[in-house]
């Protein structure tokens, strides 16, 4: 087995680790609302979401994967660059998850690729048209998701009046499950492809895959697609409960009716972007939908928490680009120095990440914070209100 093949296998394994972190970091996008409204017991929510993450493998193509794969031009790609980009994204996912901050895994991997690409070849190494496509989705997804969720709240109010349904009615809990399944499916469809794109670009550079007949689309092997979807589903299964707590219980007080509106907003934004091959942030879409539903329902939003999220969103690309840049520079040092530097960094980070995963909150902790059925059955004001808070400070 030659050294190049060993290196490629190691980086593919690292890519699957990133997908695992993507899964638990973004599990909240689809399950936070159903947990917060008791539409589904907390312990059942991650397996529910993971199932629909994985089902996307059998339906969705690879348009998003190809957008990500072309972020860095093929001439500048390679094992070292892919390693640096993936490490940056994994490190940021762990850091923001530890503090319960719903940041974007999409931003993280794009930032890591841009930083490593700049270190490898300067501005000429980046395919700025691919970055621009991602940036458009990043800007549009929160606005679209907020607007749709806000509007959907009034559609829900209309349905309530027409059929005399209260805010915690089983019909809305059923609709929440259907829409949460859609968010989970969309999350798997959009986010798993980001890892597929990174691995496909690596395999193309190493000569293990080819470009399609159209001359521009990279052929993504089936084992890459299945591995990416499987890893993100496993990560979702693990839970990432700190971020579920933030999205479901710290932004606003969700009822089954407003949770349904939030999921409609997120699903519409995610599926629309996936169809266009646009690697949007599913986190931005989900969080913005919850804010839109909270404001539309009359419960308002905790703008301190929202502000902290936005700060994390703004910092994600610069932070991961910096980490990716530094890591790439370390890998191109003389062999001994590079080996020592990379080994020390991986050992320190791995130790901290393992400690963080062993000392975190779990389903039972979040379940204990969810409002009781009596609170969730109190009627919503049915008029917009900006300022509010969730059941958890």
Question: What is the DSSP track for 46-60?
Answer: HHHHHHHHHHGGGT-
pLDDT, average across residues 28-37: 90
Provide the 3-class DSSP secondary structure of residue 195: helix
pLDDT, average across residues 45-61: 83
310 closest CA partner among 89, 110, 138, 191: 138
pLDDT at 236 over 80: yes
pLDDT, average across residues 361-374: 92
- What is the reported pLDDT for 73? 64
Alpha helices in the chain (DSSP H): 3-26, 28-36, 45-55, 63-69, 79-98, 105-121, 128-163, 170-206, 222-238, 241-245, 256-275, 282-297, 303-331, 335-358, 363-367, 373-376
pLDDT (tens digit per residue) in 249-296:
999 999 999 999 998 988 888 777 767 766 667 888 899 999 999 999
| CA dist., res. 187 & res. 282, Å (int) | 6
| CA dist., res. 106 & res. 125, Å (int) | 20
pLDDT at 335 over 60: yes
Q: How far is CA 288 from CA 154, 201, 302, 384, in A?
A: 17, 31, 12, 15
| CA dist., res. 309 & res. 306, Å (int) | 5
Contact 218, 201 (CB under 8 A): yes
pLDDT at 54 over 80: yes
- What is the reported pLDDT for 225? 83
Q: How far is CA 106 from CA 7, 64, 190, 197, 351, in A?
A: 24, 11, 9, 12, 25
What distance lies between CA 374 and its chain's CA centroid? 33
Q: Whats the size of the chain, residue-wise?
A: 393
pLDDT, average across residues 74-97: 88
CB atoms inside a 10 Å sphere around CB 5: 11
Provide the 3-class DSSP secondary structure of residue 121: helix
Contact 293, 243 (CB under 8 A): no
pLDDT at 212 over 70: no
What distance lies between CA 162 and its chain's CA centroid? 36
- The residue ranking higher by pLDDT, 112 or 106, is 112
pLDDT (tens digit per residue) in 109-142:
889 989 999 998 888 888 777 677 767 767 777 8
- The residue ranking higher by pLDDT, 73 or 223, is 223
pLDDT (tens digit per residue) in 56-77:
877 765 555 555 655 666 666 6
**Of 27-41, 135-149, 194-208, 343-357, which gets the smallest average pLDDT?**
194-208
| CA dist., res. 25 & res. 287, Å (int) | 13
In the chain, the percentage of residues whose pLDDT exceeds 90 is: 47
**Of 110-119, 211-220, 321-330, 332-341, which gets the smallest average pLDDT?**
211-220
23 closest CA partner among 272, 195, 271: 195
The encoded tokens of residue 336 equal 């001994």
- What is the reported pLDDT for 243? 93
- What is the reported pLDDT for 27? 84
Provide the 3-class DSSP secondary structure of residue 128: helix
pLDDT, average across residues 4-10: 84
pLDDT at 190 over 90: no
- What is the reported pLDDT for 63? 57
The residues facing 72 across adjacent strands are 126
pLDDT, average across residues 213-223: 72
Q: What mean pLDDT is reported for the chain?
A: 86
pLDDT at 365 over 90: yes
- What is the reported pLDDT for 1? 56
- What is the reported pLDDT for 226? 87
- What is the reported pLDDT for 192? 75
In the chain, the percentage of residues whose pLDDT exceeds 70 is: 91
276 closest CA partner among 368, 372, 157, 144: 144
The encoded tokens of residue 30 equal 């689809």
- What is the reported pLDDT for 61? 59
- What is the reported pLDDT for 222? 83
């Amino acid at each position: 087995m030659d050294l190049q093949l060993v290196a490629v296998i190691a980086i593919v394994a690292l890519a699957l680790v990133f997908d695992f972190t993507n899964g638990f970091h973004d599990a909240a996008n689809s399950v936070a609302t159903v947990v917060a409204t008791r539409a589904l017991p907390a312990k059942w929510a991650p397996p529910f979401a993971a199932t629909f993450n994985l089902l996307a493998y059998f339906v969705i193509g690879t348009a998003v994967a190809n957008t990500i794969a072309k972020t860095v031009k093929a001439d500048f790609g390679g094992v070292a660059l892919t390693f640096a980009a993936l490490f940056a994204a994994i490190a940021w996912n762990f850091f923001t998850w530890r503090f319960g901050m719903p940041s974007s895994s999409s931003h993280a991997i794009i930032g890591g690729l841009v930083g490593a690409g700049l270190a490898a070849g300067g501005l000429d190494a980046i395919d700025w048209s691919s970055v621009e496509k991602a940036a458009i989705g990043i800007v549009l997804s929160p606005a679209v998701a907020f607007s749709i969720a806000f509007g959907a709240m009034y559609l829900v109010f209309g349905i309530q009046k027409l059929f005399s349904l209260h805010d915690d009615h089983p019909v809305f809990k059923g609709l929440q499950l259907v829409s949460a399944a859609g968010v989970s499916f969309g999350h798997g469809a959009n986010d798993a492809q980001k890892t597929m794109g990174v691995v496909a670009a690596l395999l193309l550079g190493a000569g293990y895959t080819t470009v399609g007949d159209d001359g521009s689309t990279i052929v993504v092997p089936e084992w890459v697609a299945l591995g990416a979807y499987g890893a993100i589903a496993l990560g979702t299964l693990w839970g990432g409960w700190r971020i579920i707590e933030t999205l479901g219980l710290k932004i606003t007080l969700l009822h089954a009716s407003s949770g349904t509106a939030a999921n409609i907003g997120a699903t519409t934004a995610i599926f629309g972007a996936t169809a266009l091959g646009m690697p949007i942030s599913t986190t931005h879409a989900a969080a913005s939908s919850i804010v839109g539903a909270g404001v539309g329902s009359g419960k308002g939003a905790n703008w301190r928490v929202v502000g902290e999220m936005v700060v994390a969103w703004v910092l994600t690309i610069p932070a991961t680009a910096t980490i990716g840049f530094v890591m790439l520079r370390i890998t191109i040092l003389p062999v001994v120095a590079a080996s020592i530097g990379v080994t020390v960094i991986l050992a320190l980070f791995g130790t901290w990440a393992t400690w963080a995963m062993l000392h975190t909150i779990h389903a039972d902790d979040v379940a204990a914070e969810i409002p009781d059925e009596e609170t969730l059955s109190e009627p919503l004001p049915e008029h917009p209100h900006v300022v509010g808070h969730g059941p958890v400070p």
